[in-house]
């Protein structure tokens, strides 16, 4: 077996180690891409169904068709003035003017629908604000005392009486002098806790 045979064996091993596992996982990759695309499509549909998105689209439509109306009106009037006796130019002028009127109607219809959608959004926001303010007034006017709840683990620890670790004495008037052995016992009890 010569050098070409060794290179062929190495190429076959590399091919088996690199391309075959990728081919077997190809179905998983396709499924992951398909799931991601479906999720993006669902999110996009959910976003497009919102009233705010619809309002933004209607405002954009109104703006575009208003600009289109202006340009078509200028073009129609200009071709009408330059038409003179040419009947073909008059037909073009009338057609452009008709298109400008149609674009104006589309812009007005979009503005009317945008106003309705904006009113719905505004009334929904006002309803939420008024209900929140009513709830806030109710909470502010409530003068009842409510106990602060203690978390469960702390309430169990506080219910048991704390053991006395050492006798508490007033330093200004010591009753007796403590020996170092008694102090060591007190400190040992405190360290044990």
Q: What tokens does 34 get?
A: 């398909």
pLDDT in tens, 66-101: 999 999 989 988 888 887 777 778 888 889 989 999
Reported pTM? 0.47
Task: Select, from the ranges 25-39, 70-84, 155-169, the one with the highest average predicted confidence (pLDDT).
Answer: 70-84
Concatenated DSSP letters of the chain: --HHHHHHHHHHHHHHHHHHHHHHTHHHHHHHHHHHHHHHHHHHHHHHTSHHHHHHHHHHHHHHHHHHHHHHHHHHHHHHHHHTT-HHHHHHHHHHHHHHHHHHHHHHHHHHHHHHHHHHHHHHHHHHHHHHHHHHHHHHH-----PPPPPHHHHHHHHSPPPP-S----SSS-SSPPPHHHHHHHHHHHHH-
pLDDT in tens, 47-71: 777 888 888 989 999 999 999 999 9
Residue 154 has a pLDDT of 59
Q: What mean pLDDT do residues 8-37 have?
A: 79
Residue 106 has a pLDDT of 93
Q: What mean pLDDT do residues 20-29 have?
A: 70
pLDDT in tens, 98-119: 999 999 999 999 999 999 999 9
**Alpha-carbon gap, residue 17 to 126, rounded angstroms:** 64
More confident site: 32 or 103: 103
């Amino acid at each position: 077996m010569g050098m070409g045979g060794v290179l062929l064996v190495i190429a076959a091993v590399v091919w088996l180690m690199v391309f075959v596992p990728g081919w077997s996982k190809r179905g998983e990759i396709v499924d992951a891409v398909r799931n991601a695309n479906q999720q993006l499509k669902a999110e996009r549909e959910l976003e497009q169904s919102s009233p705010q998105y619809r309002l933004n689209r209607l405002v954009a439509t109104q703006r575009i068709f208003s600009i289109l109306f202006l340009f078509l009106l200028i073009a129609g009037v200009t071709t009408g003035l330059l038409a003179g006796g040419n009947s073909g130019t008059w037909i073009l002028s009338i057609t452009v003017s008709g298109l400008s009127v149609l674009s104006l109607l589309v812009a007005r219809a979009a503005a009317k629908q945008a106003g309705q959608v904006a009113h719905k959004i505004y009334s929904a926001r006002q309803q939420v604000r008024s209900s929140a303010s009513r709830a806030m007034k109710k909470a502010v006017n409530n003068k009842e005392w409510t106990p602060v709840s203690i978390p469960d683990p702390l309430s169990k620890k506080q219910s048991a009486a704390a053991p006395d670790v050492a006798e508490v004495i007033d330093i200004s008037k010591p009753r007796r002098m403590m020996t170092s052995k008694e102090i060591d016992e007190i400190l040992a009890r405190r360290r044990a806790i």
